[in-house]
Amino acid sequence: MSKINIETINTENTKLSSERIIELRNINEQYFIMNGKRKLYHILTYGCQMNEHDSEKIGGMLTSIGYEETDDSQNADLVIFNTCLIRENAELKVYGKLGEVKGLKRHKPDMIVAVCGCMMQKEELRQKLLKQFKFVDIIFGTNTIQELPGLIYDVEVNKKKSVDIIDNTELIYENMPKSRKFKYKALVNITYGCNNFCTYCVVPYVRGREKSRTPEEIINEVRALAFDGCKEITLLGQNVNSYGSNLENPFTFAELLYELNKIDGIERIRFMTSHPKDLTDDLIKAIKECNKVCNHVHLPIQAGSDDVLRRMNRKYTKDHYLNLVEKLKKEIPDIALTTDIIVGFPGETEEDFLETIDVVKKVQYDSAFTFLYSVREGTKAAEMEDQIPDDVKHERFNRLLDVLYPIVLDRNSQCIGNVYSVLVESVNNTSENSLTGRSEHFRLVHFKGNEELLGQIVNVKITNVKTFHMEGEIVEQ
Ligand code: SF4
């Protein structure tokens, strides 16, 4: 008989009383006794790692009230859409999938459908959803994840639709249970929200202003992860470099790295995302000196032209960025650099675009996420004149890839014959190279090996490379 994992939901800061949690658990336990199986939940996660981590918290809460996860929405008693608003595409995908779930709900009227995440922080999109997808039972936002058990209670017991959104909050909810995807690696929030207001971005509006967790809370969480067998952590924040500036006792991101580097059991520390305007010399020194901090920095440039950067409100120039890159390469010669690039920002001229190409050539990135600019309602960029026609954006985008991919392949080629430590992350028994993992520099590596190596860090000699992955063989060190 599978037992409910009674991890504590910290109800101190939620509207949900512990009596109602217990009642909800009892309802789900009764269901289990009557049906011989637990109620099942399925989460569809769209967007970034921040959302992935929120889904782990949602899963943790659902486990603690008696649900089990399923990969298949057809079998689920509760389907949750954790939505993204960064690009129009992600929004359209949610509507398409909701349409499918509508058919499912017709056959299974007791199935609960919930929608949360960044899309639900926008009043117009909430209203659209309530109007067009009337079968949705629960809506909650990025600041009200902790209220989910109470919202389920309202639907199950009080038979009423539930909506719970807070626009902005100073509160940080600690000690939420989490249902982690991987035992050996974990995401750890260090900040929430963002203060930067890049003109194309909705994050400050939907996730609120930047709030840092205290170093003590982060260190305790990472210690607990290490105790649980976790080897690699990724510290998450919209701008990790400004971590700690708003704490009562200010603490820098560099100081945090030194503290986390001391924790036994943790072997690798990654972080995402670094804002170029806040990458300090102290931080570069910390990356260099902390042996567990991976030699990889994801440093979004977004555009190479100072004019475009100014209109994006990025608060740095091309020269500043290139100086940072030079410092990083000088201090940490084997640093891997990855980036984000937006093509076709309003007003981008051919000359502006060539500045972006120039940065790509000068930096020699190890990889890059490239995006076509897409209008996001409510942002300043959406109001700007000179929106770039789609055909121009696509043509520039293709030219960018024509420059970028050979550089990435060349960077990978330089790895042939070298040995890298790789954390084994997945097994694919249908492939000759059955194991896949990431090197310290965040490169994807495929190689032959036994599935018992899952979660281990092994040494792999690189024998062949492609643009998006490398191949190799395990060697003794
Ligand atoms: S730094 Fe800019 S792009 Fe990143 S989350 Fe903040 S506003 Fe958005």
The domains of the chain are located at: 18-164, 185-413, 419-474
Upstream peptide bond of 467 is cis (omega within 30 degrees of 0) = no
- Segment 426-461, tens digit of pLDDT: 998 777 878 999 999 999 999 999 999 999 999 999
Which whole-number Å values give the CA distances from 104 to 73, 79, 166, 277, 356, in the listed order?
9, 11, 30, 48, 47
What is this structure's pTM? 0.89
The whole-number pLDDT of residue 473 equals 96
- 419-474: CATH, from 3.30.450.20, 3.30.70.1560, 3.40.50.300, 2.40.50.140: 2.40.50.140
Cβ partners under 8 Å of residue 240, min gap 6: 190, 191, 253, 271, 272, 273, 274
Side by side, which strands form the sheet with 138-140?
67-69, 39-45, 78-83, 112-117, 138-140, 162-164
Ligand 1 atom closest to residue 313's alpha carbon, by position in its atom list: 2
CA of residue 379 to ligand 1 center, whole Å? 12
Q: Which residues line ligand 1 (CB under 6 A)?
A: 194, 196-198, 201, 203-204, 238-239, 275
Spacing, Cα 312 to ligand 1 middle (Å): 10
Consecutive H or E run containing 29: helix 18-35
Q: What is the pLDDT of residue 179?
A: 84
Q: Do 375 and 345 touch, CB atoms closer than 8 A?
A: no
Q: What is the pLDDT along the chain (477 residues), one digit of tens a residue?
A: 333 333 344 444 455 557 778 888 899 999 999 999 999 999 999 988 999 999 999 999 999 899 999 999 999 999 999 999 887 788 889 999 999 999 999 999 999 999 999 999 988 899 999 999 999 999 998 888 888 988 998 898 888 888 887 776 677 777 788 888 889 999 999 999 999 999 999 999 888 899 999 999 999 999 999 999 999 999 999 999 999 998 999 999 999 999 999 999 999 999 999 999 999 999 999 999 999 999 999 999 999 999 999 999 999 999 999 999 999 999 999 999 999 999 999 999 999 999 999 999 999 999 999 999 999 888 999 999 999 999 999 999 999 999 999 999 999 999 999 999 999 999 987 778 789 999 999 999 999 999 999 999 999 999 999 999 999 999 986
Residue 353: the pLDDT is 98
User: What's the mean pLDDT when you consider all of the chain?
Assistant: 92
- One fold for 185-413 and 419-474: no
Give residue 16's pLDDT: 54
**Atom 2 of ligand 1: nearest residue by CA position:** 198
User: How many angstroms does the Cα of residue 36 sit away from the middle of ligand 1?
Assistant: 47
Quote the pLDDT of residue 95: 94
What distance in Å separates the CA atoms of residue 395 and residue 142, rounded to the nearest whole number?
36
- What pLDDT, on the 0 to 100 scale, is given for residue 7? 38
Measure 275 CA to ligand 1 centroid, in angstroms: 8
Q: What is the DSSP letter of 302?
A: B
In sequence order, the β-bridge partners of residue 422 are: 439, 458
- Mutational test site, ligand 1, from 87, 192, 236, 239, max ligand atoms within 8 Å of CB: 239
Helices 253-261 & 215-227 angle (0-180, nearest 10): 30
**Domain 185-413, CATH:** 3.80.30.20
**Predicted pLDDT of residue 147:** 87
Which residue out of 50, 85, 191, 196 has the highest number of ligand 1 atoms within 8 Å of its CB and is therefore the one to mutate?
Answer: 196
- Reference 339, options 353, 352, 322, 354; nearest CA is 322
Contact 253, 285 (CB under 8 A): no
User: Which superfamily does CATH assign the domain made up of 18-164 to?
Assistant: Response regulator (3.40.50.2300)
The per-residue pLDDT for 15 is 53
CB burial of residue 28 (10 Å; 0-12, 13-18, 19+): buried
Give DSSP secondary structure letters for 87-156.
Answer: SHHHHHHHHHHHHHHHHHHHH-TT-EEEEEEGGGGSHHHHHHHHHH-TT--EEE-TT-GGGHHHHHHHHH
